[in-house]
Amino acid sequence: MDLAITEAVERQSAAMRELSRRAFSETDVVPDDAPAPVEQVRAQRRRQAAATEAAALRRAVPNVPGSSCPRWLTPGRWPVR
């Protein structure tokens, strides 16, 4: 192959690689030791679900010492209709 053609092909290839690098930059690359964004979202949802479950369990447990029913169900505290 002619030397001029070889140099022109190399210049064109280098220009295409540079354009590709600019067009498809990888600025949002996650470091190897960091969790992937999907895993971060899953972990956050697990924490929220655990907090919701803990809050529901706290509400379900009777809140009157020595009583077997919650305070809002004790006689005298029922809504009057």
pLDDT tens, 11-32? 999 999 999 888 887 666 656 6
pLDDT value of position 70: 56
Give start and end residues of each alpha helix (H) in 1-81: 3-23, 37-60
Q: What are phi and psi of 3, to 5 degrees?
A: -60, -40
pLDDT value of position 32: 66
Residue 81 placed within a domain: no
The boundaries of the domain holding residue 8 are 3-26+33-60
Residue 38 placed within a domain: yes
Which range, 2-6, 58-62, 74-78, is most confident?
2-6
The number of domains in the chain is 1
Q: Is the pLDDT of residue 65 over 70?
A: no
Classify residue 56 as left (phi > 0), alpha (psi -120 to 50) or beta.
alpha
